[in-house]
Amino acid sequence: MSATSTDPTGAESAGTGGNDTYGHKPFKRSRSHFPDRITADGRDGWPVEPGRYRLAVSRACPWASRALVSRRLLGLEDALSLAVADPIQDDRSWRFTLDPDGRDPVLGIRHLSEAYDARERDYPGGVSVPAIVDVPSGQLVTNDYQQITLDLATEWAALHRPGAPDLYPEPLRAEIDEVMEGIYRDINNGVYQCGFASSQQEYEEAYAALFARLDQVSARLADRRYLVGDTITEADIRLFTTLVRFDPVYHGHFKCNRNKLTEDPVLWAYARDLYQTPGFGDTVDFDHIKRHYYQVHTGINPTGIVPAGPDLSGWTTPHHREQLGGRPFGDGTPPGPVPEGERVTPPDAV
């Protein structure tokens, strides 16, 4: 998600996920401007090192939420520190007003744009999350929201916690990639295509593709606990971060209203199963999600009123998906407790 006061999404280029362009043209998500990778061998000049980098996120953004889930599941909290931005941006981008004195305590900056400027001043793009910043130099390393989590799962393996799951198992990568491609195009990005459609035809085409894919995924999950294989993978993480926002935001705000998530028995149970799995729900902040979308997207919601609903208490009710078998962490173990300072507001308090 990037950030500019005129960007309807608030997390892309002032939007909500990756880099997006809005206005009266068809919705288009642009490619990341800084695709550098942090790798075990440092081939892009950025070697994996514990404590060297800082992950900047907004808990409102589904793309940043992928990184939050991956970081928790893999136990990278000590190796990769976390900067959490205010869900509401100002003209200069994502801001660190949640921290004392309005500055990130590690990077010493008020706005994420300062890390972008340190890397390339006045580059032609939005200030997006997730972003990884090099702490010693204060420079942005990457905002490649598609690649960051894949690298956390593979290139950062030497720093994974004991018992960390394999989120991108090599024998299943071709199938995972295929499943993720359809989910990205029609669901992750599809809700935005609905919400920011500039014509009735454009909206209806995106709407049809979104629900056709949701129906396909629901059928796939009817007799299997996870999308690919019998453990949680990157594919589940990417689907979850859209599903968890569906009823609070996308159903009404983005006009994705054929049905609610809670009205699809399979997807609702699947989403609750993941939400209740350590590493998923303990990274979700519904307050940040709702305030960001409804207060930042003034083109869609000019009053800035944040709806009181929906009722979120159902997220912690029994899902019974364990009856399908599956091993959430494979041969591994659940992550440990949420680090102090990273705990989120429970849904019954929103």
Which pLDDT value is given to residue 2? 61
Contact assessment for residue 162 and residue 176, using Cβ atoms and an 8 Å cutoff = no
Task: Please state the rounded mean pLDDT for residues 10-23.
Answer: 40
Q: What angle do CA 61, 247, 283 make, to 5 degrees?
A: 40
pLDDT of residue 24: 40
Q: Which long-range contacts (CB under 8 A, 24 or more apart) does 299-307 make?
A: 299/8, 299/22, 300/8, 300/195, 300/196, 300/253, 300/254, 301/253, 307/252
Q: How confident is the model at residue 349 (pLDDT cuts 50, 70, 90)?
A: confident
Name the pTM for this structure: 0.93
* Span of 27-41, 83-97, 188-202 with lowest mean pLDDT: 27-41
- Tell me which residues are annotated as active site: 61, 192
Q: What percent of the chain has pLDDT over 90?
A: 86
- Nearest Cα neighbor of 295 from 249, 343, 245 is 249
Q: What is the pLDDT of residue 4?
A: 38
The string of DSSP letters for 3-17 reads E-TT-TTSTBTTTSS
CB atoms within 10 A of CB 307: 12
For the chain, how are helix, strand and coil distributed in percent, rounded to 5?
40, 10, 50
Name residues whose C-beta falls within 8 Å of residue 188's C-beta, 6 or more positions apart in sequence: 17, 62, 238, 239, 241, 242
165 alpha-carbon distance from chain centroid:
19
Residue-level pLDDT at 31? 58
DSSP letters along 72-117, please? HHHT-TTTSEEEE--SS-BTTBSB-TTSGGGS-TTT--SBTHHHHH
Q: Cβ contacts of residue 171 below 8 Å, gap of 6+?
A: none
Domains of the chain, each with CATH number or no CATH:
2-159 (3.40.30.10), 170-349 (1.20.1050.10)
Beta strand extents in 135-220 (DSSP E only): 139-142
- Is residue 296 within 8 Å of residue 89, measured between CB atoms? yes
Half-sphere exposure for 108 (CA within 13 Å, toward CB):
7
The chain-wide mean pLDDT, for the chain, equals 92
pLDDT tens digits for range 41-90: 999 999 999 999 999 999 999 999 999 999 999 999 999 999 999 999 98
- Kindly report the number of other CB atoms within 10 A of residue 199's CB atom: 10
Nearby residues of 298 by Cβ (< 8 Å), 6 or more positions away: 8, 304
The answer to whether the Cα torsion of 283, 87, 145, 250 is positive or negative is: positive
pLDDT band at 10 (very low <50, low <70, confident <90, very high): very low
Band of the pLDDT at 96, cuts 50, 70, 90?
A: very high
Q: What is the dihedral of CA 65, 66, 72, 73, to 10 degrees?
A: 150
C-alpha distances (whole Å) from 295 to each of 8, 105, 162, 321 are: 10, 26, 41, 35
Average pLDDT over residues 158-182: 98
Contact 232/167 with Cβ under 8 angstroms?
Answer: yes
Strand pairing category for 2-3 and 127-128? antiparallel
φ/ψ of residue 290, rounded to 5: -70, -45
In Å, how far from its chain's centre is CA 310? 21
Chain segment 258-275, per-residue pLDDT in tens: 999 999 999 999 999 999
Look-up of token digits 């999950």: 221
